[in-house]
Every structure is written in structure tokens, then in C-alpha cells.
Amino acid sequence: MARSRLMVKLDAAIAAALNPVEAKCLRAERAGLLARQGQLEAAMAVIDELATQLAWQPSTPLRAWLALAEGLHGYYSALGRDARVSIEQAYDLARGQAPLQRLHALAAAWLANMAFANGDMPRMAALTREAFDIALPAHHGARARAALVAGYAYHFSSDNARAQPWYEASRRHAIAEGDETHLSALMHNQAWMRASQARLTLLFETAGSAATQGDAVRHALMGAESIGHYDAGVGTASLGSLVPMLRAQVLTAQGQWAEALALFENYFDAALSDGLTRMAPCLLADRAWCEWHSGQPRKAKALAAAAEMALAQPCDIDDRATAAARLAQVCAALGDAAAAQRHRASALTHHAAHREQQQRIMALLDQALVGLDPARV
């Protein structure tokens, strides 16, 4: 399998570096790419080697690039929210340093990505704008990541029309960078959001036609399958349980119980290890629904109880709404009308809160990105 164009570019730049510090910074950047590709052991070997050298010969540029690599390694090990600390260090070290302008923009874009994941939407919007303002036209990596955050945030807010130009900007810069791994991330984000919207529509929207809802679910499944094929083609191995869990959720929505259960059984534990613990209530509720339809009411009841316990842990509002709506269906099927009513009321409350959150995010983005044309960023 051919190496990515970005990897080839980095190898050539390392070989042509004018001094040892420049070469080490490029090697740290290369380690970050290895981490994003899922080559975590190889990435950590380089990080450890460079950290040892840094202890003997301190260097602010190397410390900054190494911090970014460490953060990316942590993030792609388990979607680690604690990875933010290392990337914050890279951001702080690079900020205001002209030789590290590209790193400053790149770290800002990654911090915007993580701010969205952590629910800090004002900071997400501000850092996305900062990344665009700092990045030079040739800083394709930073611009690709910042545009992806903008596109995903608009998509999350159900403004698909406004999301698409930002997705296209992200794709354009990733192609210019030769970063196939980013193109995979772009496909992942779009597929997850399409699936999430399709599931919310099925669970909460009664006005749409069954055909329209079915089309949305089919498109979500096609997206899940296409990213699996793409990742296999380009050699991306990071967070390998995400696509099977995405497919399992979409197959549940399609009523393909056996196929969904097989994926849940084979990948659920790995998904938790890969950082999907905040989605555990959704996954467990879907498994319960599949088990009930497969003639296993005992398993369905046990999984529903596990899903309800998981709701006591941190969970995003939209996922909380989805899990509660599914639990209402499971409890109704099991004959527990009181529990079904309780979960349905919770689902409606959280769905309304999610709608309010969507409006806030759109307002923040509109304000932060004013004057920026995604076709020209």
C-alpha cells in the first residue's frame, strides 16, 4: 500500500532539513501523522526518542511540536479529552512566535475541534476563527482542520446547506496537503452526523414521510460503509471500532436486528476503550431494542437497565435524548408503561434542549466567521 502524500512530503523535508532542530521538529510532526493514522506504537517510539533528546538539548520549537504529537497520540488512542492539555501546551508555546506560526494555527484548529467535543461552543467558535486568521494560505493542515470544525458544527446544528461549503473547503485543503488521513476524518464526521440526524428524525419527527426517513437512514448506512472501504484503502487504522458502531446504530434504525447485534457483540467493548463511553446509553438502548426484536426479552430488559445506569454518567444532550427515546420504546415493548412514559418525557425535554443548543451554536459561528467565505479561506 502506498504511503500518504503527506508522509512522503514530510520524509523529504526531514532529509532536506538545514539543521538538526528543524529535522527533529519535522519528525515530531510526522509522529503526529502516524498517530492520526492509527500507528500508535510507531508514533510513541518517535515521541519517546525525541523527548529523551529534548531533555538533553532543550528547544522551544521541538517542545512545541512534540506537545502537539503527544496530544494527537492521546486523542487517537481513545478520543482522549485529556489530550487537550498537551495541545494547549503546543498552542501556548507557538503563540506569538513567528517561526511557529503554522503550529500556532494548527494547534488552534485542533483545540477548536476538542472544544466542540467538550461542549465549549464559545471557545470552539473563537478558536476556529483564530486558526483562519493566523494560518497563511499555504498552511493547508490548519485550514483543513478549522474548516472541518466549522462544517461539522453547522451540520450538528442541522444547517446542512451552510455546512457543505466548509466541508468542501476542508476537502480542498486536505487534498492540497496530501493528507488522506484528514479526508478519512472528513468522511467520518459527515457519516456520523448523517446517522445522528437520521436517528433523531426517526425517533422524534412524525411529520415526515416514511420514504424520506428511510432514504435518510440508507444514506447514513452508505456513508458508514464507504468510510470503512476508504480507511482500508488508505491504511487508516485509528479507532477501529467507530465504523462498526456507526453501522450497528444505522442497521438498528433499519430493523436489521441480527446484523446490528453481531456488530454490537463484536465491537462494543472495544468502542468503550476507544472513547465512546459517552455514547454507551445510546449503544446499550439500541442493543436492547435489537434483542427484544430478536425474541430475547430478558436480554432486552437487562440491557435497558444498563442503559439507564449509563445515563447517570456524562452524556451529550443529543445522545441523551436519543437514548431516552429508544428506552421508551423498549420499556413499552416490555410492558412497563410507567418507565416508558418517564423515558419519553425525558427524551422530549432533552430534545428541546438540543434544539436550543443548535441555535446557540449557529449564532456563535455566524458571529465568529463573519466576513469569511469558505470558498476562499
- Lowest model confidence (mean pLDDT) among 18-27, 83-92, 98-107, 195-204: 195-204
Q: What pLDDT does residue 275 have?
A: 84
Contacts of 349 (CB under 8 A, 6+ apart): none
Task: State whether 14 and 68 are in the same domain.
Answer: yes
Confidence of residue 78 (pLDDT cuts 50, 70, 90): confident
Whole-model pTM: value is 0.93
Of 162, 178, 194, which residue is a domain's last?
Answer: 178
Confidence of residue 300 (pLDDT cuts 50, 70, 90): very high
pLDDT tens digits, 282-294 = 999 999 999 999 9
Average pLDDT rounded to a whole number, residues 92-96: 97
Task: State whether 90 and 120 are in the same domain.
Answer: no
With respect to residue 288, please indicate whether it lies within any of the assigned structural domains.
Answer: yes
With respect to residue 144, please indicate whether it lies within any of the assigned structural domains.
Answer: yes
With respect to residue 195, please indicate whether it lies within any of the assigned structural domains.
Answer: no
Contacts of 177 (CB under 8 A, 6+ apart): 6, 140, 141, 144
Task: State whether 144 and 70 are in the same domain.
Answer: no
pLDDT tens digits, 148-167 = 999 999 999 999 999 999 99
- pLDDT more than 90, % of the chain: 81
Distance between alpha carbon 16 and the CA centroid of its chain, in Å?
A: 34
With respect to residue 236, please indicate whether it lies within any of the assigned structural domains.
Answer: no
Q: Quick one: the chain helix, strand, coil %, rounded to 5?
A: 80, 0, 20
Of 124, 157, 178, which residue is a domain's last?
Answer: 178
Confidence of residue 371 (pLDDT cuts 50, 70, 90): very high
Distance CA 165, CA 179 (A): 19
Distance CA 63, CA 102 (A): 15
Q: Select the more confidently predicted residue: 297 or 239.
A: 297
Confidence of residue 227 (pLDDT cuts 50, 70, 90): low
Confidence of residue 60 (pLDDT cuts 50, 70, 90): very high
Task: State whether 136 and 74 are in the same domain.
Answer: no
Q: Which domain holds residue 167?
A: 115-178
Main-chain dihedrals φ then ψ at residue 274, nearest 5 degrees = -80, 0
Decide if pLDDT at 123 tops 80.
yes
With respect to residue 196, please indicate whether it lies within any of the assigned structural domains.
Answer: no
Of 145, 161, 178, which residue is a domain's last?
Answer: 178
Number of structural domains the chain divides into? 3
Q: Cell 415526515 sits at which residue?
A: 208
Task: State whether 67 and 149 are in the same domain.
Answer: no
Distance between alpha carbon 51 and the CA centroid of its chain, in Å?
A: 28
Q: What pLDDT does residue 273 have?
A: 87
With respect to residue 344, please indicate whether it lies within any of the assigned structural domains.
Answer: yes
Task: State whether 361 and 282 are in the same domain.
Answer: yes
Decide if pLDDT at 145 tops 70.
yes
With respect to residue 41, please indicate whether it lies within any of the assigned structural domains.
Answer: yes
Task: State whether 126 and 83 are in the same domain.
Answer: no
Instruction: Evaluate whether 72 touches 32 at the Cβ level (below 8 Å).
Output: yes
Distance between alpha carbon 147 and the CA centroid of its chain, in Å?
A: 14
Task: State whether 78 and 139 are in the same domain.
Answer: no
Task: State whether 15 and 63 are in the same domain.
Answer: yes
pLDDT tens digits, 18-27 = 999 999 999 9
Average pLDDT rounded to a whole number, residues 126-155: 98
With respect to residue 325, please indicate whether it lies within any of the assigned structural domains.
Answer: yes
Decide if pLDDT at 1 tops 60.
no
Distance CA 145, CA 28 (A): 18
Task: State whether 87 and 14 are in the same domain.
Answer: yes
Task: State whether 81 and 135 are in the same domain.
Answer: no
Distance between alpha carbon 38 and the CA centroid of its chain, in Å?
A: 14
Confidence of residue 212 (pLDDT cuts 50, 70, 90): low
Confidence of residue 228 (pLDDT cuts 50, 70, 90): low
